[in-house]
Amino acid sequence: MRSLVELWVDQRIFVPTPLFAEFYTEAVPRGHGKYAGLLYESVTARFGADDISLSMTVRPTRDGETHVMTVAEEKGDVDSEECFTAELAVNSRDPLTFRQRLRSAVLHVRGPVVLRTGSQVELSDVEIQASRLNIQTGVLSIRSYKQGEAVNIQLEHPVEHLPNLRVDVKPGASLAVSWPGVEQYPWSEFVDHGIFEESRDTIGAMLALRRILVWFKKDKKDTFAKFRDHIDNVVVGDKEVRREMLAFLMEKRVIRLNGEFYTLVPEEAHKAGINWVALRSPIPSGKILNLINEFLASSAS
């Protein structure tokens, strides 16, 4: 029935209700990346489509094809959020597909991503790292709902898009892109090959902190524990500032190493001022600013 259902959805303006995500994940233990957008819209319908306290992460598991999609309502402390989790297969037949808009999302995908709609896709506060991206819309709209929000896209292969694509960056928003051959219209003015290389300053350290801790978002399956080899080799890799930040967080006991897992310690994170709401801002303040300054001082020494 899958092909018939897809045809039915594609031919209609289908707006999923909150029940869609619940029934789908109950019926399909390992779902299809092609339906990620429908699940996302279903969850946002439950919380409220304009609720800016929602955030989403999509990250690969150890097998490389299965990805964990988590949509969370951020309430402040790292252990006080309500979340929706689904496992999705992402491959050439099932690209990770989203429709209409994405807000406050981090997509780290070992496979293709598709953005599609009839007229316009809106992105705000989004970070995409993927092998391929296919934009099937006439307008890519970049918006900012809070000061400093940005859209960063890094790809292994050139982006695919319609020949008449228009990139519309709204006032207050920013876009940075990097992939082979990116220096062409309509991307040339947004090229920044260093977007995923954090610098040793307040903004760069905050980015490193955010890009590490976002992987520790709680989900139904493995709570705050993440495989050590994935954090070391995929999340941190050869990025020097992230490597130093991870060591600093372990020294502060915010993250602990337990066998083959890194574990986030909510009590220590709370003491340091770390929470999902604070991490969403690129400009640190309060306790988390003190933490960043302490990191920069230790890094300098």
3-state secondary structure of 205: helix
235 or 53, which is more confident?
A: 235
CA–CA separation, 202 and 260 (whole Å): 31
CA–CA separation, 209 and 239 (whole Å): 12
Of residues 147, 63, 54, the one with CA closest to residue 104: 54
Q: Are 55 and 73 in contact (CB under 8 A)?
A: no
Q: pLDDT category, 181, cuts 50, 70, 90? A: very high
79 has pLDDT over 60: no
Mean pLDDT on 225-242: 85
270 has pLDDT over 90: no
CB atoms within 10 A of CB 119: 9
> Lowest mean pLDDT: which of 83-87, 138-142, 153-157?
83-87
82 has pLDDT over 70: no
Q: Domains of the chain by range and CATH?
A: 2-190 (no CATH), 202-300 (1.10.10)
CA–CA separation, 272 and 134 (whole Å): 40
CA 249 to chain centre: 21
For 111-128, the pLDDT digits (tens) are: 999 998 878 999 998 999
pLDDT number for residue 210: 86
Structure tokens given for 67: 């990805």
- Rounded (10°) CA dihedral 30, 233, 238, 123: 10
76 has pLDDT over 70: no
293 or 301, which is more confident?
A: 293
* Residue spans of alpha helices (H) in the chain: 2-10, 18-27, 36-47, 202-213, 228-230, 240-251, 266-271, 276-279, 286-300
For 28-49, the pLDDT digits (tens) are: 888 999 999 999 999 988 776 5
134 or 222, which is more confident?
A: 134
pLDDT number for residue 220: 53
pLDDT number for residue 6: 75
pLDDT number for residue 77: 55
pLDDT number for residue 121: 94
Q: How far is CA 111 from CA 46, 73, 93, 178, 219, in A?
A: 28, 26, 10, 16, 22
Q: pLDDT category, 218, cuts 50, 70, 90? A: low
For 182-196, the pLDDT digits (tens) are: 999 899 999 998 887
Structure tokens given for 149: 């929000």
